[in-house]
Structures are given as structure tokens and as C-alpha cells.
Structure 1
Amino acid sequence: MSTPSQYVVARHVYSEDSFAGDHEKIHRVPKTGLDHVRGYLTCDSKRAKAAVLSLLPIVGWMRSYRVREWLLGDVVSGISTGLVAIMQGLAFSLLASLPPSYGLYTAFFPMLTYFFLGTSRHISVGSFPVLSLMVGAVVTRLVPEDGPPANITSFEGLTPDQQRVLVASSVTFLMGIFQLAMGVLQVGFIVVYLSDTLVSGFTTAAAVHILVSQLKFVLGLDVPGINGPLAIIYTLEKIFVQITLTNICDLVMSIVIMVIVFIVKELNDRYKAKLPVPVPIEAIMTIIACGVSYGFNFEKRYDVDIVGKMVSGYESPIAPSVEVFRESAVEAFPVAIVGFAVAFSVAKVYSIKHDYTIDGNQELIAFGVSNIFGASFRSFAASTALSRTAVQESSGGKTQIAGLISAMMAMMVTVALGFLLEPLPTSVLGALVIVNLKGMLMQFREILYLWRRDKPECVVWVGTCLGAILLGLDLGLAVGLGVELLTVVFRTQFPRCSVLANIPGTDLYRDRKDHLHIFEPKGVKIFRIPSPIFFANIEFFREKLVEVGFNPLRVLRKRNKALRTIKKLGLGDLFCQETNEPSVNKEELDQPSDLKGLPFRMDWNAELPTNIRVPRVDLHSLILDFSAVSFLDISALKGLRMALKEFIRMDVDVYIVSCDVHILEKLHNCMFFDEEILTSMFFPTLHDAMLHVLGTHKEDKSTRVVMQHWHLGEAKKMYFLIYFVCFTWSLFFKWTETKL
């Protein structure tokens, strides 16, 4: 076994003042707003090239494209992904309350622009069930299935399906505007507020909504779409009311499809290392279902709902409805946020796996332009789906050429092969949607995992999931954000403060509760707060300080009362010295005032009369470890100043260590220091402060080593007790011998 490495350092004990005196600091001149503008507007060839590569990432990766190594994999991957994208587009269009053919539009148009603007090389852009459901909620609200549409001028002369398409495309257009605006304003950081836990709880709730919404297709029931809080409960109620009207053909076909697709998907996952490409079971089952439905005429013989007339080719672009903008702005913004958060998280996973970088702001621009462009051609909200992206990556896709090929396949079906899908039962599409929910529904297992490891995170997951299930996805997202922010506030408002002690023979300091052998000089306390100090936790900070040391105000009141009693008794010998300050009256002495305002100085360690009781103060030095304090606000500065002065006026030396340079600068700027709170109280490290304290208060017998184990403290007592008993017994034995 190798000998542990060691290091020895010999240097002066530094305070912040002495360190600044020995080591000159570089004086930085902060840039003005004009300097930033000039730097931003400066242009040269290098900046121009960087701008082009940033706005058009395709230029970067196309120059390094390896045709012989990557092209075949991209082609195979594009075909495999295209089959999945076509089936998912058809299925997810039901979630958006749109005719299935418009799902093919979403598999084509957004991918065209992302090919040029996106920074991820592996994600498959297209429909995503959560976004489809969120868009479908707006469509159902403005164009309900069992009632008149909203009073919107743009709806005049349009069929119900055309009205729904207009609403979906307008919401998608507005979603794209939000994403593009955030990308241009460089606010891609906003996605960090959607933690993985929140997104997991939200998508799980969305999976429950999707599952319930597809039951009517699987059972063949005519259940109108319901939107708003508790919509999932009302939908289940309507389904159970009509459960006796279930179409057996739809139900049997759906169960068979789900079982087969589930088994094959599991085999794909288990043998993915041996399979060149995953088996496109969704496409296979769709083709079989189309053939069986057409051959046995399911529509007329068994009253099965089918896809019906497919739009052949592409229609001319349409303009979005400004009236729909006004009606759906509140819903469109969370759709934009969720769509980007999901796409960015998936893109980040594969960028790390394949060692390349992605740009969050450029991704916002890419998805914004893609959704605006797609909405102009009647597609609905686009993002990415993890299952589809996994197919693209695992089947050999290296770049977005695979995505472009998958879009071409969607175009081929739309232009030439769409009529073949007309006999497809909608129950088959519903079954495919439900099977693809497996990954999201399995996230329920995270509850137990989070509860064991991080209970606040578990609260975020459960709160987000329940909020989204009961209140709807838009309000549920707001609830999740609120719960998440509350947990952050709770952690910072009530941090786990600790009292530190020295590990003997080292310059390391740890929580004294966690170690057996620690060194803690008598009269010295080291207090650590592991969070920022601000208006919400400054009182908590002061309460914890009192628990560590003592309550200065309480001791001060006791001393004031004792002084009055001593003065009445005429015990002048207890006073150390008189002051030149004027005397104060009884009312003033009752207040928690400054000891400097009292008429005498007292030696409180002297022997006091038995009827006078004053709390004994054993603390002479208090060290505050600010190594984990990232900022202080004005309220915290005021509270900290008051707390420090209370201890200082009780003759307790206070030191602050490991304070960040920016906090020190703020203390100077806010006039924190005065004749009592000095800059000499600040030390760069905890060990420097401890050595200074030990040098100021010479170590003697009062220094103690705390051993948190019975055999070092109690064993000594036991040893002396046994020794005393043995000694007494020997004396008794000798005495009896002399008597006998």
C-alpha cells in the first residue's frame, strides 16, 4: 500500500488586512454599457464567420461530413425513423383533435428548417404527445365537439375540421414566435428552471391525460373532449357511463395491437446490440391493420371508425388568426417552454454521448422558425420524441441527413401513398399511442427513488404530477414551478447550520457531531451557515447564533438588573472602575441597551452575592464560516451588523472567515464597518482565524479535547473509582490484620 501524499506549508497567519498588504490586488475597471455595445457591434472576418456558423450550424458539420462512413448509416436511419415518424404523426394528431393527415405535415415541414438551423445531430423533429395534447386542449376549448365554436371572425365559412386546423396552426405559430423571441433575446437559460424532476412529473401527468384521452378510440365510444380543471375525472365519468356501448371489434383489435407492439419493442430493446436496425413494428402493424380493415370492410360491417379521406399533397399556406392569438396566448407560452425543454434535454443527452456541443439559444431559434414555418402549412406543435430519437441514433444516424430522409418519407406518403391509410381504424392509432406511453408511465417508479434520496425533490415530482393531472397541463406546469421555487426558498430559508471543530493534526474543520476525535478550544465556537444570507433567513441565522453561543440581549438584561441590585446593596467592591458617562435611569436599564451606557464596569467573573444570578458567559471568541455564503442583501447586512454588535458589546471577539471577495466589496460599499465592526475581524481561512484566536487567548488547562466516546471520558472515572475501592479495601484488610 502506497504512503499517503503529504504537504507542509509555512507562512504567516493572515487576516484579510494583512493579506491585502502583502499581496497587491489587480484593480479592474468595470466595462460600461457603451463598451459592451461597441464590442457587440465590432465586426471582422473572424466574427462574421462565427456568426454564420452560429446561425447556420449546417455549414459547420457539412464541411466535416464523412460520406463513406456516415452516408449509409444516415440513409438506413432515415428510413427507419421515417416509418416511426409517420405512424406517430398519424396517432398524435388524434391528441391534437385534428384529422390524421395533418400529423404527416408535422413530420415534414418543421424538419426542413431544423435541418439548416439546429445544432443537434441526432434528435428527430416532429410531433410529441405532450405538446399535441396541450394544443388539443386549446382546440377543444375553442372548437368543442358537442357545441358551437368560439365567437371568432376567422371561423366564418369554415368547416369544423378547418376551424380546428386554424386554431392548431395559430397556436403553433404563436408558440414559434415565443421561442424565436427567447432565442433572439438570448434567454435560453430559462429552461434551467424546469428541473429534470419537474419535467419527469409533468410528462408523467401528461401520459395519464393521453392514456385517458385515447380510451374512447380504443373502446370505440363517442365521448366529447373536455378541457379545464378536473377534465380527466369528467372524461372518465363519461367513459364509464357509456362503457356498455363498447365496440368489441375496436377493443379486441386494440388489445392485439398493443400486446404485439409491446412484445416486439421489448425484444428490440433487449437485442438492440445484435439487430442492425429496430424492427419497425408500428409500421408493420399499421399496414396489416389497413389490409384487414379494408378486406373485411370493418367500417360498415362492425361500425368501426376509420381514418377516412386523407388529404393528398400539400395545401397553400395560411395566415394565422390574430383572434386565436388573443384567446390562446396563455396556453401557447407553456407549450413553447415545454417543447423546448424536452427537445433540449434530449439533445443534450446525445450531444454528451457523441462529444459535440449544442447551443441552447440557437436551438430556441431553430425550433421557433420550424414551428412558424410548419404552422404556415397547417402543421401543429413540433418538438422531439425520445423513442423516435432513440431509433434515429441506434439505427446508425450520424447527422440530420437522417432527419431529412425521414421527412422525405413523410412527404412521399402525403403525396402518393396517403390513400392506402384511409381504411386504418382510429382504434389502432389509439393503441399505438398508448403503447408509446410506456416510458413516461414507468416514471412513477421515481417516487420511491426520490423519497429515499431527496424528499424535497419528491415533493416537487408529486406536486407537479398531481397538479397537472387534476388542474390540467397548463396550470399543472405553473403549480410545479411554484412548488419547485418553494423548495428552493425552504432550503435557503432554513439551511442546515453546523458547529465545526478541528480535526487534530490538520487544518481541516468538520461538523463536531460527525467525528469522534476533535479539537475544540474552550471559549471558542465556529459557526457555519451553508447558504446565502438574505431577508428570508436572517432571523433564522440570528436564532442559530444564539443556540451556538448565548443570547446577548438576555444576558444584557440580567446584567442590567444585577447592576441595579448591587448598587442598592452598596457592594461597591465588585465594580472594577467608574466611567465618566452620565448615569441612566431605571427605565433605560430595563432596555436591551449597550453596556457602554451603564455607570460602572463590572467584572462578571467575580464572586457575586447569592441572591444575584447572572448567566455565565464562557464564550470569548465566535468564528463565522462564510465559505458557503454566496451573497448578502441589504436586510441581511442590517441584521448581521446588529448580531455582531450584540456579541462584541458582550466582550466576545467575532471573526468572519472565507468571505467571498465580492461580498467584502459589498460590505465596504454599504458602509458596514465602523468603530466596533472592523476589517481586522475578517480572515481568509478558518485556520488563520483559529491560530489568531489561540495566539490571543493563550492555551492553558482550560483547553479541552472532546472525545465523543465513553471509553475516554467515562473510563477514566471508572478507573479512579476502582482504584479508590481497591485502596480502601487494602487499608481495611491491613487494619483487620493488626486487630487480629
Structure 2
Amino acid sequence: MLKKIIPAIDWLSHYHKNDLRGDLSAGLIVAVMLIPQGMAYAMLAGLPPEIGLYASTIPLIIYALFGSSRQLAVGPVAMVSLLVFTGVSQLAEPQTEEFVSYALLLALMVGVIQFALGIFRLGFLVNFLSHAVISGFTSAAALIIGLSQLKHILGFDLPKDSIFVILYEAIRGIGETNLTALIIGVGSIAVLLFFKKKLPRFPAPLVVVVLGTVFTYLFKLNETAGVNIVGDIPQGIPSLSLPAFDFASIGALLPIALTISFVGFMESIAVAKAIAAKEKYKINSNQELNGLGLANIVGSFFSAYPVTGGFSRSAVNYQAGARTGLASIITAVIILVALLFLTPLLYYLPQAVLAAIIMVAVFGLIDIKEAVHIFKIRQADGWTLIITAIATLTLGIEQGILIGIAVSLILFIWRSAYPHVAELGYVEQEDVFKNIKRFPDAKTYDHTLIYRIDASLYFANMAFLEEKLREAIAEKNASNVILDFSAVNAIDAVAIDELEEIIESYRDSGVKFYIAGMKGPVKDLVKRAGWDEKYGDKINFLTVKQALNTVQ
């Protein structure tokens, strides 16, 4: 029982010495990668850089103990950081103590929501975020995140507005560009892209951080060339503190907390499942919610803003040899040591370098190929992706994902209200009944309509079914109708009553109805409605062929 609550007990009790080398290697490499990333993502979230480092310590240890993935690398990520900025900047000015306080409260709220979803086994709710919505949202958000860092690359302020305004103001103010900051930013991007392509496992962010810091220190670029630097980063590990509780603030932050809870979990569970499939073990989605929820709850008491599992770091963690959650614990310990002793070395770190790290990380999330692929398979899903992306770019992060969810749900309801139906004919060579539109040579029968319904029946699609049945019966001049229920997985009370009305209304016209292939759960429901007494064996045929033999 305790192993279910704390999955780490399982891998700790069976830990193999052979795994230690891989865990040590992965823990060190991810720590080296996470120190600059954590600072960069905190800056993106509108927070002081040390908050990103705090978020890379305690939450990692908590997730390692309570999460079900052995290789997922939890910590600050670009998407969640942008969402934090979007939500909290409506209540306070970025980089202020009030802003930090709201961000910590937001982490607590996200943790409580995720933990509650896990405890009540409501992980299935994230399925309402369709792949098309996530893809469109991610690509648009990546563009917003990347362009939000343009001010640090160019070296002059740009408005916190839509990407169109940012681009316009960037072009208009191009003469104000700080050439030194531009060279540092573009050079960092070039180095990061080189290593990403040639040596993806190499901790390239550390290289640009070291180079940028050393050059700025040696040539005092912050004084001689006006290059913006990180400045003082407080030394020491995060201390225990309580997030400020304010019911008005909780109400204001709730929409963004829900968005982060779902989007963060989707990002986390996707990469966790991909790695688990390769390693031949299972991910428990509800346990993942518990692990992430507890990581955010506990983290909020140690000055951490919302965290989740990241795609790139998890891939690096896995490729570097991580075998268990010990790798994440090692990462957290190394960052704690860095907080105690190494933060003075980052004083001269240019903000342009952190902006470059963010831009390279997020622009990789823009997936044009996926959009083309989705359009090729199903245009409706493709348009859902496009609408979500446009809404996110023009209206904002929260509104974009809500509109995407609304569009995907409307499409789902529309498809279920207008299900696929087909008249069947007999294909003698294969001894099967098939759609006569796809198999025009299939044998049909005079005055007998064989009709398949490819959906569950409920109140919203019965009007459509009745209309299609009337058209088919009239066209066929049928006196016998065989309904193939093999694809009907469920039926509600309204659909039972309306189907009964259809059968009864045609009885006076001499049209008889037969039902074949009815599944057990559906049969149980119609039995309660008294259909066994009303229709007897006419509804109990196992196959269409049995029903046809009775009719013929």
C-alpha cells in the first residue's frame, strides 16, 4: 500500500549499484543544463533569476519520491513560465515582491488542483485537450515566448503587447539597437543551435553562460556598452515560508491556475509515457498528478513557482543514463550547492544570453510538419489547430487554449450528432456485409434494407438517424429493416424511446424491424425497457446473416 503512495520506495528498495553511474551522470548533466535554464525561465515568468533556481531544487526531490516516472526531469519550463507571467502580470508589476508572492500562491493553487485531480482519479479530464489544440497552442505560445525575449537581444525596451505590436515596435526602433547585446544574443543562439544539431547531449547552455559572463566581466560590457546583466543573485538555499493567502487573488488566479495544471500535466505525461514505453514500464496518470501536485505544493513553501516535466531536459536525462528518480535528487542537490557557493559568479551574466537560451528552446516547439500532417489526415482537426493558434496569437494565452477546447468539443458534439450510417450488401467472396457505396458489387435484397449505425445512440443524434432511416426505407421501398447494432456501444433512455417510436410508427405501414449484433450493455438497457416482451427474438440476432435468413 505504501509503495502505491510513495513509488520511490519500490526503486529504492531494489536499487542496483549498476544504476548509480547512470544516475550520477544524468544528475550532473541535467543540473548543468538546468541552472541557466532555470534562471532564464524565471526571467521569462517575470521573476528574479534565483526563483528559477529555487524551483529547481525541492520540487525535483518531491517529484522523484511521489511521481511514477523514473526519468522525467521536473522543473521550470518555458510554457508554464509564460503562463505565470500572463496570469500574474495582471495583478502586479513583474520583478516586484508582490509579483513573487502571487507566483508562489499560484504554485500552491496549481499543486492543490493537480493533487486533487490525482486523488479523485480525474486524470481523464486532460483528454479534453485534443492533440490538435495542444499542437496549435504550443506553436503559437512558442512564438509569443520567443518574441517576448527580443527586447533583451536588441537591447532596448519593447511593449508587453501582441506579437504584431512587438514586431512593429522592434522594426520602428531598430536604430536604438545595442550592437553589443545583439552580437552576444545572436552569437549565443548560433552556439546553441550548433550544439543542438551536432551534440544534442552536450550542455550547450552552460557554454554560452560561461562565455557571456567571462567576456562581460573582462571588458565590463555592462558599463562600457550598456549590456544588461543579471546582477546580484542572493546566496543560500530557499527558506521555508508561507505563500500569501488572499481570497480575491485566488479568484483572480484561478483561470490561469487551471490552465497551468492541465497544460503542465499534458506536457509532462506525454514525455513520461514516451520514455516509459521504451523502458517497458507503465506510467500511472493519477500518480503523476499526485507527484506533480505535491512538487508544486511543497515547492510553493520554498519560494518555487509552478513546475512540470520538460521535454528537452527529460530527453537529456534519459539519454545521459538516468535509471531512477535518484538522478533528479542528485540534480537538486547540485543546484542547492550552486545556490550556496556559486551565485556570485553569475553577477555579470548578460540577459541576452538567457534570452537566447529561451528562444532556442521554444522555437523548437513550433511544428509546421505536425500541422500539415494533421490537415492531411482530417481537415476538421487541422482547422482546430489553426483556430487555436490564431486565437492564442491575437487574443492571448488563456483565451487561445479555451477557444481551442471549445472548438474541439463542438466538433466532437457535431460528429456524434451526425454519425456515420451505411446501407449494407453481402460480399459473397468474403462472406461479409459491407457498405454498398464502398463495395458497389455487394449483393442487396429486394424490399429488405440492411442498415448499420456506426455510433452510440443518444438524444442528440436520434433525429438524424430517423431522417436517414426514412430516406433509406422510402428509396428501397423496404418492408423489412435489419439494423446492424454491432458498432453501437451505448444507448440512452431517450434514444430507446425514440427508436421504439420509429419501430411502432412503421408497424402500421407493414414495415418490420429486426436488430442484429446487439452488444451486452445495450441489450441490458433495452431489456429494462421491456423490449424482450415487445419484440421477442426480432432483436436478439447475433449476426446480420441470421436476421437475413429469417427475413428471406
Q: Same fold (TM over 0.5)?
A: yes
| Counterpart for residue 51 of structure 2 | 102
Q: CA deviation at 1:634?
A: 2.9
> Could you tell me which amino acid in structure 1 is paired with residue 147 of structure 2?
V
User: Aligned runs of 1:684-723 on 2, under 5 Å?
Assistant: 684-694=542-552
Distance 2:79 2:129 in 1: 15
Match of 1:353 among 267, 275, 278: 278
Q: CA deviation at 1:495?
A: 1.9
| Counterpart for residue 140 of structure 1 | 89
Aligned: 1:313 with 2:313: no
Contact 1:188 1:364 in 2 (8 A): yes
Per-residue CA deviations over 1:483-519 (Å, capped at 9, x if unaligned) read: 1111211221112211111111554111112225422
Secondary structure of the 1:683 match is coil
Aligned: 1:642 with 2:512: no
Distance 2:492 2:238 in 1: 58
| Counterpart for residue 405 of structure 1 | 330
Contact 1:504 1:517 in 2 (8 A): no
Contact 1:501 1:511 in 2 (8 A): yes
Distance 1:618 1:95 in 2: 68
| Counterpart for residue 85 of structure 1 | 34
Aligned: 1:243 with 2:174: yes
Q: CA deviation at 1:680?
A: 2.8
Distance 1:679 1:244, change over 3 A: farther
Match of 2:511 among 640, 652, 667: 652
Q: CA deviation at 1:241?
A: 4.2
Distance 1:362 1:249 in 2: 48
Contact 2:479 2:511 in 1 (8 A): yes
Contact 1:201 1:462 in 2 (8 A): yes
Aligned: 1:55 with 2:9: no
Distance 1:377 1:433 in 2: 24
Q: CA deviation at 1:317?
A: 2.2
Aligned: 1:631 with 2:461: no
Structure 2 stretches lacking a partner, 5+ long: none
Distance 2:87 2:125 in 1: 24
Q: CA deviation at 1:225?
A: 3.3
| Counterpart for residue 384 of structure 2 | 460
> Could you tell me which amino acid in structure 1 is paired with residue 513 of structure 2?
V
Distance 1:314 1:281 in 2: 26
RMSD (Å) for aligned C-alpha atoms: 1.8
Match of 1:168 among 81, 87, 103: 103
> Could you tell me which amino acid in structure 1 is paired with residue 99 of structure 2?
R
Secondary structure of the 1:519 match is coil
| Counterpart for residue 493 of structure 1 | 417
Match of 2:295 among 363, 370, 374: 370
Match of 1:474 among 398, 401, 407: 398
> Could you tell me which amino acid in structure 1 is paired with residue 191 of structure 2?
I
Aligned: 1:294 with 2:217: yes
| Counterpart for residue 521 of structure 2 | 662
Aligned: 1:337 with 2:262: yes
Aligned: 1:194 with 2:117: no
Q: CA deviation at 1:224?
A: 4.7
Q: CA deviation at 1:672?
A: 5.0
Contact 1:124 1:392 in 2 (8 A): yes
| Counterpart for residue 184 of structure 2 | 253
Distance 2:508 2:364 in 1: 63
Secondary structure of the 1:499 match is strand
Q: CA deviation at 1:406?
A: 1.3
Contact 1:507 1:687 in 2 (8 A): no
Distance 1:333 1:253 in 2: 37
> Could you tell me which amino acid in structure 1 is paired with residue 178 of structure 2?
N
| Counterpart for residue 734 of structure 1 | none
Secondary structure of the 2:240 match is coil
Which protein shows a greater Rg?
Answer: 1
Secondary structure of the 1:641 match is helix
Match of 2:470 among 546, 556, 571: 546
Match of 1:528 among 446, 449, 452: 452
Distance 2:155 2:369 in 1: 31
> Could you tell me which amino acid in structure 2 is paired with residue 682 of structure 1?
N
Secondary structure of the 2:234 match is coil
Distance 1:633 1:56 in 2: 41
Contact 1:254 1:428 in 2 (8 A): yes
Q: CA deviation at 1:415?
A: 0.9
Contact 2:108 2:300 in 1 (8 A): yes
Distance 1:266 1:166 in 2: 39
| Counterpart for residue 272 of structure 1 | none
> Could you tell me which amino acid in structure 2 is paired with residue 686 of structure 1?
V
Distance 1:130 1:311 in 2: 26
> Could you tell me which amino acid in structure 2 is paired with residue 626 of structure 1?
F
Identical-residue share of aligned pairs (%): 28
User: Aligned runs of 1:23-42 on 2, under 5 Å?
Assistant: none
| Counterpart for residue 23 of structure 1 | none
Contact 1:637 1:672 in 2 (8 A): no
Distance 1:235 1:170, change over 3 A: farther
Contact 1:186 1:361 in 2 (8 A): yes
Distance 2:140 2:542 in 1: 50
Secondary structure of the 1:165 match is helix
Distance 1:315 1:353 in 2: 36
Q: CA deviation at 1:407?
A: 1.2
Distance 1:660 1:234 in 2: 58
Secondary structure of the 2:121 match is coil
Q: CA deviation at 1:665?
A: 2.0
Q: CA deviation at 1:311?
A: 0.9
Contact 2:86 2:397 in 1 (8 A): no
Q: CA deviation at 1:315?
A: 4.3
Secondary structure of the 2:482 match is strand
Query: Using CA pairs below 8 Å that are at least 6 residues apart, which structure has the higher relative contact order?
Result: 2
- Select between 508-517 and 213-222 the one with higher mean Cα deviation: 508-517
> Could you tell me which amino acid in structure 2 is paired with residue 417 of structure 1?
L
Distance 1:221 1:671 in 2: 76
Count how many residue pairs are aligned between Structure 1 and Structure 2.
550
Structure 1 stretches lacking a partner, 5+ long: 1-50, 146-159, 270-277, 552-616, 695-740
Aligned: 1:118 with 2:49: no
Distance 2:143 2:241 in 1: 33
Q: CA deviation at 1:654?
A: 1.2
Aligned: 1:216 with 2:151: yes
Q: CA deviation at 1:618?
A: 4.0
Distance 1:384 1:671, change over 3 A: same
Give me the TM-score of the superposition, normalised by structure 1.
0.72
Secondary structure of the 1:437 match is helix
Aligned: 1:414 with 2:339: yes
Distance 1:502 1:373 in 2: 64
Q: CA deviation at 1:237?
A: 4.3
Per-residue CA deviations over 1:289-324 (Å, capped at 9, x if unaligned) read: 100010011111111110000110024322212223
Give me the TM-score of the superposition, normalised by structure 2.
0.96
Per-residue CA deviations over 1:63-95 (Å, capped at 9, x if unaligned) read: 22221x211111111111111111210111111
Q: CA deviation at 1:405?
A: 1.3
Distance 1:186 1:264 in 2: 41
Distance 1:667 1:191, change over 3 A: same
Per-residue CA deviations over 1:326-356 (Å, capped at 9, x if unaligned) read: 3212211111111112111111111111011
Match of 1:431 among 352, 356, 359: 356
Aligned: 1:451 with 2:375: yes
Aligned: 1:179 with 2:110: no
Distance 1:122 1:78 in 2: 10
> Could you tell me which amino acid in structure 2 is paired with residue 459 of structure 1?
W
Distance 2:512 2:45 in 1: 68
Distance 2:182 2:268 in 1: 34
Per-residue CA deviations over 1:401-437 (Å, capped at 9, x if unaligned) read: 1111111221122110011111011011001111112
Contact 1:140 1:225 in 2 (8 A): no
| Counterpart for residue 284 of structure 1 | 207
Secondary structure of the 2:365 match is helix
| Counterpart for residue 706 of structure 1 | none
| Counterpart for residue 538 of structure 2 | 680
Distance 2:349 2:101 in 1: 25
Secondary structure of the 2:510 match is coil
> Could you tell me which amino acid in structure 1 is paired with residue 224 of structure 2?
R
Contact 2:423 2:452 in 1 (8 A): yes
